[in-house]
Structure 1
Amino acid sequence: MDQVIQITKDIKAGTIAPVYFLMGEEPYYIDKLSEFIEKNILTEEEKSFNQMVLYGRDVSMQEIISNAKRFPLMAERQVIIVKEAQELIRTIDQLDDYLEHLQPTTVLVFCYKYKTLDKRKKVYKNIQKKGVLYESKKLREYQIEAWLKRVISGKGYTIEPKASAMLVEFLGTDLSKIANELDKLTIILPKGSAITAEVVEHNIGISKDFNNFEMIKAIVDRDQLKAYKIAHYFAQNSKNNPLVLTLGLVYSYFSKLLLYHGLKDKSPANVVKNLKISQYGLKDYEIGFKNYPMRKVSQIISILKDIDLKNKGVGASALPQGDLLKEMLAKIFN
């Protein structure tokens, strides 16, 4: 994120590199940076003759280099953006020749999604030396809350921790999907509003009471009535609440709770660091520590593995997901 901010600041200040190589598993910031370059380096009048967008599946490296070597028309620079540049993986090394003899009036941008260049290669080192190389890494689930807060704050809104958790559970860690949903909410809500669990429920269609976030909370609190109500809801809506997702999240919680038991230093900062959780999730581990001794946690992890095998039909005919979910709860609360 810091590098993204620095790249945009440099461009605004007129410090523009001849090559931008945007690569990595997370496409969100690759798209954002390429859009920023597309909109901000040339004026609208200059774009007609001096800005082009190419696609890696449709062009060769030689064609890209040929275009990059030409001079701008009635402008200081030309901008060439190569989207889906990962399609050029077999010939990307040909960029070396161009890097050795750069056209200083060309801004060449590669959007190399879902992959990264081999850091040992000459082309990687040359891009670092002559231009800007940015790697967009996937955020972990525990990092999403801070990212959400930062994005929402930049738009002039706030978001409740539960609303954040609901969005991550429903949308995963795909930043583009989350950003699209946030854009919808900010259109509806007045500036300065708080995005609450109720707002998410009414506008995105995620139940604030019947979701995996609430299921785990009910298990942590040993609230059997609430847990079985959610299990019943999941059984009636299995398409939107697959057992495999619930098992994965419950397993993740108890695996981290086992680590929590083993920590000598249970200070908040150390727990957050070692368990890789958000500050907001800390309370669930403090409560779980009291409600589930280490031996019981180990048993639960074995139970979850067994339920997962049954769900896959291993050793027996596949049982209805609702029945397996209830069996899971019965054994956890036993």
Structure 2
Amino acid sequence: MAIELWKQIKNKQFSPVYLLYGTESFLMKETGQLLLENVLGDERDFNFSTYDLEETPIEAALEDAETFPFMGDNKVIFIRNPFFLTSEKQKDKVIHNLSRLETYLNKPAPYSIVVFFAPYEKLDERKKITKELKRRANVAEMKKLSESDLKSWVDGRARKRGIELDRGAVETVIALAGTNLFMLSNELDKLALYAGEGGRVDAQTAELLIPKSLEQNIFSLTDKVVQKKPAEALRIYYDLLKQNEEPIKILALLAGQFRLIYQIKELSRKGYGQQQIAAIIKAHPYRVKMAAGLASKFSDGELASLIGQIAEADYQMKTGGADKSLLVEMFLMKLGKTS
């Protein structure tokens, strides 16, 4: 949804009212910046306003939207945290005149672009105002990008930074930096600084410059266990300790990885594809793809046993006097011998 909306904005196809909702905050921020760049350009100092509805009544934002722009043709109004679109109670919060909003939606100011930022996973579809806003506005759900959209985003972001990524480099960037858009953006900035304007980055260069994310290190750790290479698994573990990662956190992430593998096996057996699985368990499709490659290496019994061993190690960490780091070492060494 976000990618399609960006295309419209870049083509100067604007709507008077937008509703952006979902939990992918980076996409919301990007969409807002894209609107400002394409609608106002250098005029944002005079014709851009933002309102937080947890602090300000909706009427103030709408009055601003109905006021003619200053020294320009258009104005942009950002309206954040419209909690009245959710089932959240309004206790101790600002009271909004929603009938005033309904009136505006029926006849929005032709010179204003009003953007609602709703950072919520779900909206309350039973509410009249939610239905009306979704009917009148250009609505886009800001959710995690699919694998293909994520690759397009990385490639487009690199081009925006003045560099080009080889096809293999795009996949390497995602594999190493993970799927968090803030992290990916930071790593692409570093690649752009290294390559310079008009530069080209291949997979080898990306691998050289981008440190593995914690998520990727945990996947690599699991992969070494699957291959019965406890020495290499321990080497990754020691590297994580040098990066000041806590043993209890590493153990929790390992538990999450094995639970993910178990879920993928179970849902695959029921005939679900990877995209469907990602939607059901609310995991990024790229992470599901990576974990699916390991799922065939374990039987259900082995996975259940592994999760039990992790639970036991976690219990000992929290209640016993054993060395936390040593408990993880023992778990990895035992796992490497029995998997």
The TM-score normalised by the length of structure 2 is 0.75
Local SS of the residue matching 2:210: helix
Does residue 1:85 correspond to 2:88, yes or no? no
- In the alignment, the residues of structure 2 paired with residue 297 and residue 193 of structure 1 have an alpha-carbon distance, to the nearest angstrom, of 39
- In the alignment, the residues of structure 2 paired with residue 197 and residue 43 of structure 1 have an alpha-carbon distance, to the nearest angstrom, of 37
2:29 partner amino acid: D
- In the alignment, the residues of structure 1 paired with residue 304 and residue 192 of structure 2 have an alpha-carbon distance, to the nearest angstrom, of 44
Task: Report the CA distance shift for 1:81/1:310 in structure 2 as closer, same or farther (over 3 A).
Answer: same
Q: Which residue number in structure 2 is paired with residue 324 of structure 1?
A: 327
- In the alignment, the residues of structure 1 paired with residue 221 and residue 136 of structure 2 have an alpha-carbon distance, to the nearest angstrom, of 52
Post-superposition Cα deviations, 1:115-166, rounded to whole Å, max 9, x if no partner, equal 6532221222222222212221246xxx5x6554222322221436565333
Q: Which residue number in structure 1 is paired with residue 304 of structure 2?
A: 298
Q: Which residue number in structure 2 is paired with residue 150 of structure 1?
A: 152
- In the alignment, the residues of structure 1 paired with residue 108 and residue 292 of structure 2 have an alpha-carbon distance, to the nearest angstrom, of 52
Post-superposition Cα deviations, 1:293-333, rounded to whole Å, max 9, x if no partner, equal 443332212111111222222xx23x322111122123323
CA-atom RMSD in angstroms: 3.4
- In the alignment, the residues of structure 1 paired with residue 182 and residue 231 of structure 2 have an alpha-carbon distance, to the nearest angstrom, of 37
Is the 8 Å Cα contact of residues 22 and 134 (structure 1) preserved in structure 2? yes
Q: 2:8 aligns with which of 7, 10, 22?
A: 10
Q: Which residue number in structure 2 is paired with residue 24 of structure 1?
A: 22
- In the alignment, the residues of structure 2 paired with residue 227 and residue 28 of structure 1 have an alpha-carbon distance, to the nearest angstrom, of 33
What does 1:156-305 correspond to in 2, within 5 Å?
A: 156-158=164-166, 159=169, 161=171, 163-168=173-178, 173-190=179-196, 191-195=199-203, 196-201=206-211, 206=212, 211-234=217-240, 236-237=241-242, 240-258=244-262, 270=273, 274=277, 277-286=287-296, 288-289=297-298, 293-305=299-311
Task: Report the CA distance shift for 1:310/1:121 in structure 2 as closer, same or farther (over 3 A).
Answer: same
Local SS of the residue matching 1:134: strand
Task: Report the CA distance shift for 1:133/1:152 in structure 2 as closer, same or farther (over 3 A).
Answer: closer
Local SS of the residue matching 1:71: coil
Task: Report the CA distance shift for 1:211/1:128 in structure 2 as closer, same or farther (over 3 A).
Answer: closer
1:165 partner amino acid: A
**TM-aligned CA deviation for residue 257 of structure 1:** 4.2
What does 1:91-130 correspond to in 2, within 5 Å?
A: 91=95, 94=98, 95-114=101-120, 116-130=122-136
Is the 8 Å Cα contact of residues 167 and 178 (structure 1) preserved in structure 2? yes
1:323 partner amino acid: L
Q: Which moved more, 1:54-63 or 1:149-158?
A: 54-63
**TM-aligned CA deviation for residue 251 of structure 1:** 2.5
1:81 partner amino acid: F
- In the alignment, the residues of structure 1 paired with residue 262 and residue 175 of structure 2 have an alpha-carbon distance, to the nearest angstrom, of 22
Q: Which moved more, 1:302-311 or 1:277-286?
A: 277-286
State the identity as a percent: 23
Is the 8 Å Cα contact of residues 22 and 110 (structure 1) preserved in structure 2? yes
1:188 partner amino acid: Y
Is the 8 Å Cα contact of residues 61 and 92 (structure 1) preserved in structure 2? yes
1:98 partner amino acid: Y
Does residue 1:62 correspond to 2:70, yes or no? no
Report how many residues are paired.
307
Where structure 1 has 5 or more consecutive residues not aligned to the other structure, the ranges are none
Task: Report the CA distance shift for 1:281/1:157 in structure 2 as closer, same or farther (over 3 A).
Answer: farther
- In the alignment, the residues of structure 2 paired with residue 259 and residue 87 of structure 1 have an alpha-carbon distance, to the nearest angstrom, of 33
- In the alignment, the residues of structure 2 paired with residue 47 and residue 278 of structure 1 have an alpha-carbon distance, to the nearest angstrom, of 41
2:210 partner amino acid: V
Q: Which residue number in structure 1 is paired with residue 161 of structure 2?
A: none
Is the 8 Å Cα contact of residues 2 and 141 (structure 2) preserved in structure 1? no
Task: Report the CA distance shift for 1:51/1:229 in structure 2 as closer, same or farther (over 3 A).
Answer: closer
**TM-aligned CA deviation for residue 64 of structure 1:** 0.8
1:85 partner amino acid: N
Task: Report the CA distance shift for 1:102/1:308 in structure 2 as closer, same or farther (over 3 A).
Answer: same
1:230 partner amino acid: I
- In the alignment, the residues of structure 2 paired with residue 27 and residue 281 of structure 1 have an alpha-carbon distance, to the nearest angstrom, of 25
Is the 8 Å Cα contact of residues 177 and 183 (structure 2) preserved in structure 1? no
**TM-aligned CA deviation for residue 270 of structure 1:** 4.6
